[in-house]
Structure 1
Amino acid sequence: MADTNHVKKVAIVGVNGTVGKYITKALLSGGKHEVTAVTRGDAEIPKGVKVAKVSYDDPASLTKALEGQDVLIITMGTRAPKDTQQKLVEAAAAANVAFVFPNAWGIESSYGALGTDTLLGPPAIAAMRRAEELGKSAWIMMNTGYWYSHSLATSSAHGFDLNNKTVTFYDEGTTKINNITWEKTGDAVRNLLSLPIEPEGGNGPTLSDYRNKQVYISGWLLSQKDIFQHVLRVSGTMESDWTIKYEPAAQRYEEAKKRLFSGDRSAYNQMLYARTYYNNGDGNFETRHVLENEKLGLAPETPESLDEQTKLAFELAASGYKY
């Protein structure tokens, strides 16, 4: 007898992307879901993943690709065409996909001026509203904080140039923001999609609890100076070995914004992180919302796991990693 109280078929846009590949890996490892890559090209697809080729200029191809799917997960880079997400949301509705995860991974992009200033809020909110207007797919928004090792390895993000032992602290370097690992993000999605859709006689969480709602998970709440202590320990260095600078977060944000709107797209990372580090609590969503880590069965992080992720950041930086 078919199990109609659990989602099984999950379509993912961006299975090879920064976070998409970890969501895909987690779903496959759970053994409960059938994953389909929604893709335009001939990129190599992970073993065990089905493929649905589409054209974003052909709405019918998108709808066909999503027919029979229970869930659509959208992960895209910031350089994706602005109308792509809306096309996917509309196709999901046309195909009667029950749940859509909009492209809103990371900070709480729907939160006030933070979302507007980082340019992430308007498309995320538009996707949520469009799904509600169409009335076929419930949206679920994942707020996770920044991916720690990626952010630490990228000098324009958390402010650390690990290869050259330089750090730029925003303001005093004490503003705390949420961080997470790629792996925990994938595990959170898998565990959420493994919940029964409706109650099964107990009081545990259900997938329906999250219809048209935001989900908040996090690994660590950290300031730059918190991170610096782990950087020093992992690298076996002292503060005197590092070149330390201080810069107002607002000044750093405005400078990057000016560069970005003058055509320098490489300035976006600096703009994004500098704005999140404003000393007003914007980047600390766990003071505003209850974290769902425990409900979703996510193990607590430890200082040791943070050191491991710090080591990974050093390895990424040494390899020339670019986001």
Structure 2
Amino acid sequence: MLPEYAKDQPAGFTNRIERVAVVGAGGSIGRHIATELVKTGRHTVTGLTRADSKNQLPAGVKPAYINYDDESTLVTALQGQQFLVITMSVMAPPDTQSKLFRAAAKAGVPYIMPNGYGSDFTNDALAQETRRGDVIRKSLREIEATNVCSWVTLVCGFWYKFSMARGAECFGLDVTNKTFAFIDDGKTKTNISTWDQCGRAVAGLLSLKELPEGPDDTGPTVSTWKNKPLYIASFTINQKDIFESWKGVTGDKDEEWTINYESSRARYERGQERLQEGDKMGYVQILYTRQFYPNGDGNSGEKHGLANGTLGLPREDLDECTKRAKAMIESGYVYH
């Protein structure tokens, strides 16, 4: 495919992303993305929301009310938008994204960030063994098949506060029983991000020029990541780092905790057994354990490089993030 340049675009073309639609702008990750986009002052942000939704949109986000069973409402809401960000619960009906893709194509939206956050779906073994990669790849094929829209995925690793609060199946931390389950030796590093950093990453990306001005313009643009993953992270850390941060924040001592070790293979297989028995948390155990395999598959930044510097992302303080995770746990957070 020949490169596109701003100098070759029709009269009236503005080389920036000004209009962004967000699905799930009132939810966990969507709220942070929408908020950071508004903060730049460079974008008009529209939140696609069902009329009966109880989620409140962040300040500065314009609502566009939609009905997923009425495509005309989706097309109308997306008309004139330049970038569509989709964030939704994994519990959403599986055809919801497909409806959005088709509507985006009819509305002429050039870019879509689908609901594919997390692990590196380009890694074949990881994609297969986490059972997530093929789902994401199917979505990307659907977007490309429109012949109108292109995709950009945010590969950000696990979400820190969410993972800390969800239970021992994730990072091994069980606050209630004061146990920590280390996978192998607990020293395998993986990419982890905060919701805030994900929001800043999307805002940073969409604040770049859309296209290079011409062949001599080699700076980063939105089109740099056209039909490509965007790799970012807040931290590249291991379970030992997480436990040390937790103890530093809480003042806990080693002797107050029960420490267990389990091989990654055994933990993964135990997760499969739980899932086969109907325990959905078995899948969570599979997903997280696979990212901590000692072959480094969870450290996609090591393989592909991170775009943190290019997007101007800050270095975050792990202990400050742990404090926020602790508050989230103490609030009684439950994922639905």
Interval of TM-score (by shorter of Structure 1 and Structure 2)? over 0.9
Of 161-170 and 197-206, more deviation after overlay is shown by 197-206
1:219 maps to 2:234: yes
Tell me how far apart the structure 1 counterparts of residues 31 and 299 of structure 2 sit (CA, whole Å): 26
> How many residues in Structure 1 have an aligned counterpart in Structure 2?
320
Q: Is the 8 A contact 1:132 1:138 kept in 2?
A: yes
SS in 2 for 1:100: strand
Match in the other structure for 1:154: 166
Q: Return the match for 2:177 from 147, 155, 164.
A: 164
1:124 to 130, 136, 160: 136
Contact 2:245 2:322 in 1 (8 A): yes
Residue identity matched to 1:154 = R
Partner of 2:53 in structure 1? Answer: 42
1:105-124 residue pairs with structure 2 within 5 A? Answer: 105-124=117-136
- Post-superposition shift, 1:70? 0.7
For the residue of structure 1 that corresponds to 2:46, the secondary structure is strand
Consecutive unaligned residues of structure 1, counting only runs of 5 or more, are: none
Alignment partners' CA distance in 2, 1:173 and 1:237: 19
The alignment status of 1:233 with 2:248, answered yes or no, reads yes
Equivalent AA in structure 2 for residue 134 of structure 1: T
Equivalent residue for 1:185? Answer: 198
Partner amino acid, structure 2, of 1:311: K
Is the counterpart of residue 174 in structure 1 residue 184 in structure 2?
no
Q: Is contact 2:31-2:57 (8 Å) kept?
A: no
Letter in 1 for 2:194: T
Alpha-carbon offset, residue 3 of structure 1:
6.7
TM-score computed with the length of structure 2 as normaliser = 0.89
Structure 2 counterpart of 1:145: 157
Q: 1:29 aligns with which of 30, 35, 39?
A: 39
In structure 2, distance between residues paired with 1:38 and 1:161: 37
- Secondary structure in 2 matching 1:279: coil
SS at match of 1:221: strand
Match of residue 7 from structure 2: none
Partner of 1:263: 278
Q: RMSD of aligned C-alpha atoms?
A: 1.9
Deviation at 1:261, TM superposition (A): 4.2
Code of the residue aligned with 1:24 in structure 2: it is A
Q: Is the 8 A contact 1:110 1:124 kept in 2?
A: no
Q: Tell me the alpha carbon deviations over residues 152-211 of structure 1, each in whole angstroms, 9 at most, x when there is no partner.
A: 222221110124321111122111110111111100100100111122475421111111
Q: In 2, distance between residues paired with 1:214 and 1:177?
A: 17
Equivalent residue number for residue 307 of structure 1:
319
Q: What amino acid is aligned across from residue 109 of structure 1 in structure 2?
A: F
1: CA distance between counterparts of 2:13 and 2:106? 23
Code of the aligned partner of 1:205: P
Matching residue's letter, 2:65: K
Query: Deviation at 1:141?
Result: 0.9
Contact in 2 for aligned 1:110/1:122 (Cα 8 Å): no
Query: What code does the residue aligned with 1:195 have?
Result: L
SS at match of 2:170: coil
* Offset at residue 73 of structure 1 (A): 0.5
What does residue 54 of structure 1 align with?
66
Pick one of 281, 286, 293 that aligns with 1:278.
293
TM-score by length of 1: 0.93
Residue 46 (structure 1) shift: 2.3
Per-residue deviation, 1:144 = 0.9
2:28 counterpart residue number: 18
Q: CA deviation at 1:260?
A: 3.0
Question: For 1:277 and 1:319, how far apart are their aligned partners in 2?
Answer: 28
* C-alpha separation in 1, matches of 2:124 and 2:218: 34
Q: Match of 1:149, SS? A: helix
Query: Comparing 2-11 with 227-236, which one deviates more in the overlay?
Result: 2-11
CA contact (8 A) 1:162 1:314 kept: no
Matches of 1:92 and 1:235, distance apart in 2: 47
Deviation per residue, 1:40-74 (Å, 9 max, x gap): 23322223212222222233332222111111101
Paired residues for 1:56-71 under 5 Å: 56-71=68-83
Q: Distance in 1 between matches of 2:72 and 2:135?
A: 22
Q: Percent identity?
A: 43
Out of 221, 224, 241, the position equivalent to 1:209 is 224
The code of the aligned residue for 1:106 comes to G
Deviation by residue 1:224-254 (Cα, 9 ceiling, x = unmatched):
0121111121221221111111122233223
Among candidates 229, 239, 245, match of residue 260 of structure 2: 245
Structure 2 spans left out of the alignment, 5+ residues: 1-10
Which moved further from structure 2: 313-322 or 112-121? Answer: 112-121
**Deviation, structure 1 residue 2:** 6.8
